Structure 1
């Protein structure tokens, strides 16, 4: 008989996974019960407003549930008149962000009685993570141990642990359970809180992140979507948050849940209640995931069944009920009472704080969106499309607008009160854009900014899911030549701006005009038909002295020169070289008359510029001269 414990330590595997000869047993995937097709058993009881808990401060053994007018079967108290399996999609939650939800959570979610070898002093749940999700739990508190001794791809490399291992693992028991829920009910949102890590290396963190991303794929709610309410997330078909409490967190994961724990294992009920009340009176920052840890041990170090306390401390029923102060609520023996039902009811109250809407173009007369809603999602498709959409002009502060384009035809989104340089955005198939209304302006979200110091003198190409990227130069962070990428997604945008004392040259493609980007300039380019097209070039404005008697090529389509007393020159000659269609506008309110020399003018004759005059010239490349025009395009 092999000493499996010593051998397991050497091999870095769980001893229970070795047979009597010290050979690694094959992995056996868990069997999941199917999701019920019939409604769960119900009773007529209403949400609890709180009943007094028992008088005992400490118990020598766990209490067994609290389920008045109902029954506890396999650790699950029957619900009152609601359905737990798909409660998020069934009841009122659509107006809330993920961080605003009141979520029933399971402390040490994988340490349950149904696990293959849970230690009784660690066991604090009755049923598996799959059954927890099936019965309404929506936040799983997880602690993970890495075992390097299993071969790559073996699911047991990432095991659930507390002080011991339960025999459950992340991929087979947790991720698969989430996939099962999502497959059965696509609108159920789950938070997986990876709170603690044992024996992890940097490589192990990367490996676990890869497993998570490969299994959950597009279901992941990335941090960039943190401002969205559930209605918007449902439209994106994103339903899983990975909260990862480690500095090796993947960019697609959220920061770890801020778990508020009293800091001791065996507080009295009154101590724990006082702590919970203090946490409930704190202000949670927007977008932070926060949990209250409502659990403790008995005197003999067994997880306490606090069912009456939980139902009292987190009672539901009114807007000022105790539960309304909380968000994620992690408990032991989380289904022996009707706490899930309290959360369902409490979310329906909190859901009234704002209004949201899911539109298609056929629902928007003239493409004009209403100002009323706090959260908007508009989804285009073939046969349900509009050539133009108009953003609300005066929505509530912090409102969000999500546009999802599935139609083959392009849509022009008009956002006159936005930070988008042109105010009109061309949206193509598969584009997803998000705006938030801040300080009376729609601000495009999820835009990355690059500089010469971060990415060199070539602007990185926008990714497939990026509508706009920005490139900025400044003093100490400057390059003389800026090159736009050779390719990019069609109808993607690049904004280039400068605060540098020196100007830069913007290069698009060979043979096309080069732009001069100087301090204060902002250029917007759109990629279309293989070319970066200028959408909003900078306008260069000079005083007469700065322009000089012989103007140089100004480096942009529009140049303005103003003469005034104290900033005046007697003569000015337009640039000898320019690009087809470039314009120069000369204005004056100076006392003295200036002369525009005829050297580079089509007429060849000099022109007088007097006080109050405005003279317009356009460059005709075929003759290499400037033609007088009246500000109208007659070419």
Structure 2
């Protein structure tokens, strides 16, 4: 299955907007096995939630990237903003992110990406500098906040380049015309979560999932004290298979670790086709 352009090769879903879609998301997208981590710090297996770079995640079908940034005054330009997992930084920076997004969209111009700036951390975080970096480096890629409710088809008619939704907690230094509302995360609340506990948590959320008036994400991740992030692709394939449950139909963004390991992308694609059919029925 080709995952790099799954949205554009499924034109039926163009009748949906970004909040109505079911999107495969990469949890802690900036903490991956190929990044470099400080020698004096937690071992890599406690921190890495993805196998490869942002570009690889997008190629594997991720359409929402969960981004957590810290500010490094010693960096230059967009390298002042460094990716981290629970405060532990690595070699990935905002420069890597925007370069990978631009490179991916150059090859796949009709895919849509949500950049979920889940946390912008540190008392010294330079919001003005961050705002300038995003608006300058992603400029014509950004979907304006006012257009959030438009369908993919309508967005394509308006622009051939606006394909990125940048979401962050509101701040006086962030351009409200550009940045969308902070994406609400549904997660278990426990840093250590085994698959059975995770399944119970998701069952609870699915009984009364959020509506489609704004984007939200479900954290479908498992973590152990000894091993760190766990590859639960078998469980994900069981839980989100459309033949076995309607969970995928009830979600907006499904955040997972190691995005390419499961069949989540295909489940999301099929769920979106079903949603589009329901709309026209």
Q: Would the TM-score normalized by the shorter structure come out above 0.5? A: yes
Cα separation, 2, equivalents of 1:299 and 1:209: 36
Tell me whether 1:296 sits opposite 2:215 in the alignment: no
Q: What is the 5 A alignment of 1:190-205? A: 190-201=113-124, 204-205=126-127
Query: Equivalent residues in 2 for 1:483-522 (5 A)?
Result: none
Contact 2:194 2:223 in 1 (8 A): no
C-alpha deviation, 1:286, in angstroms: 3.4
Q: Which has the higher strand share?
A: 1
CA deviations 1:568-598 (Å, max 9, x no partner) are: xxxxxxxxxxxxxxxxxxxxxxxxxxxxxxx
Measure, in 1, the Cα distance between the counterparts of 2:35 and 2:145.
Answer: 32
Q: Which residue of 1 aligns with 2:93?
A: 169
Counterparts of 1:406-555 in structure 2, within 5 Å, are none
What does residue 278 of structure 1 align with?
204
Counterpart CA distance in 1 for 2:264 and 2:209 is 23
Give the distance between the partners of 1:302 and 1:283, measured in 2 at CA. 28
1:143, CA displacement in angstroms?
0.4
Label 1:285 to 1:324 Cα distance change in 2 as closer, same or farther (>3 A).
closer
Q: Which runs of 5+ in 1 are unaligned?
A: 1-81, 356-371, 373-635
State which structure, 1 or 2, has the greater radius of gyration over its C-alpha atoms. 1
Alignment match, 2:185:
259
Secondary structure of 1:120's partner? helix
Q: Deviations over 1:189-233 (max 9, x none)?
A: 00000011222547x111111111111112211121122000011
User: 1:297/1:283 Cα in 2 relative to 1: closer, same or farther (>3 Å)?
Assistant: closer
Residue 117 (structure 1) aligned with residue 37 (structure 2): yes
Q: Tell me how far apart the structure 1 counterparts of residues 100 and 266 of structure 2 sit (CA, whole Å).
A: 21
How big is each residue's C-alpha offset from its partner over 1:369-402, in whole Å with a ceiling of 9 and x where there is no partner? xxx9xxxxxxxxxxxxxxxxxxxxxxxxxxxxxx
Q: Aligned partners of 2:138 and 2:252: how far apart in 1?
A: 24
Q: C-alpha displacement at 1:270, in angstroms?
A: 2.3
Q: Structure 2 residue aligned with 1:329, among 245, 249, 254?
A: 254
Q: Describe how 1:279-428 pairs up with structure 2 within 5 A.
A: 279-317=205-243, 321-355=246-280
Contact 2:60 / 2:259 at 8 angstroms: preserved in 1?
Answer: no
Deviations 1:31-80 (A, max 9, x none): xxxxxxxxxxxxxxxxxxxxxxxxxxxxxxxxxxxxxxxxxxxxxxxxxx
Counterpart contact for 1:147–1:199, Cα < 8 Å: no
Q: Is the 8 A contact 1:261 1:292 kept in 2?
A: yes
* Aligned-residue offset at 1:121: 0.9
Alpha-carbon separation, structure 2, partners of 1:194 and 1:111: 14
User: Over residues 516-543 of structure 1, what are the superposed CA-to-partner deviations in whole Å (9 max), with x where a residue is unaligned?
Assistant: xxxxxxxxxxxxxxxxxxxxxxxxxxxx
8 Å CA contact 2:194, 2:224 repeated in 1: no
Distance 1:300 1:198, change over 3 A: same
Q: Partner of 2:223: helix, strand, or coil?
A: coil
- Structure 2 residue corresponding to 1:188, chosen from 91, 111, 118: 111
SS at match of 1:98: coil
- What residue in structure 1 maps to residue 14 of structure 2? 94
1:243 aligns with 2:167: yes
Q: Is the 8 A contact 1:226 1:287 kept in 2?
A: no
Equivalences, count = 270
Contact 1:95 1:352 in 2 (8 A): no
Aligned ranges 1:549-628 → 2 under 5 Å? none
- Cα distance between partner residues in 1 of 2:237 and 2:123: 37
Contact 1:124/1:303, CA 8 A, preserved across alignment: yes
Query: Over the residues paired in the alignment, what is the CA RMSD in angstroms?
Result: 1.9
TM-score under structure 2 normalisation? 0.90
Q: Secondary structure at the match of 1:100?
A: coil
- Distance (Å, rounded) in 1 between the aligned partners of 2:237 and 2:34: 25
Q: Which of the pair has the greater relative contact order for Cα pairs under 8 Å at 6+ separation?
A: 2
CA deviation digits over 1:217-265, x for unaligned, max 9? 1221112112200001111222100010243442110111101011002
Q: Which runs of 5+ in 2 are unaligned?
A: 39-43
Structure with the bigger percentage of helix: 2
What is the DSSP-based 3-state SS (H/G/I as helix, E as strand, rest coil) of the residue aligned with 1:112?
coil
* TM-score (normalised: structure 1): 0.41
